[in-house]
């Protein structure tokens, strides 16, 4: 599935469907690096 978004780019959505379940969902398209950080999830 291809989607034209407000910024003018096109994103492609991929997935596998079995009965009523979607798996291996992907979103492919241009991206900008907007954040960097760390998170401590504990042990």
Q: Assess if residue 35 is contained within a domain.
A: no
Q: Assess if residue 20 is contained within a domain.
A: yes
Domain count, the chain: 1
The whole domain housing 3 covers 1-30
Average of pLDDT values for 17-34?
A: 93
CA-based nearest residue to 30, from 38, 3, 1, 41? 3
Q: Assess if residue 11 is contained within a domain.
A: yes
Task: For 11-20, write each residue's pLDDT tens digit.
Answer: 999 999 999 9
d(C-alpha 30, C-alpha 39), whole Å? 25
pTM for the model:
0.59
Residue 41 has pLDDT above 90, yes or no: yes
Q: Assess if residue 41 is contained within a domain.
A: no
């Amino acid at each position: 599935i291809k989607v034209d978004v407000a910024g003018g780019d096109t994103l492609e959505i991929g997935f596998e469907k079995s009965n009523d379940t979607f798996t291996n969902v992907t979103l492919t398209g241009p991206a900008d690096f907007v954040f960097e950080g760390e998170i401590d999830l504990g042990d």
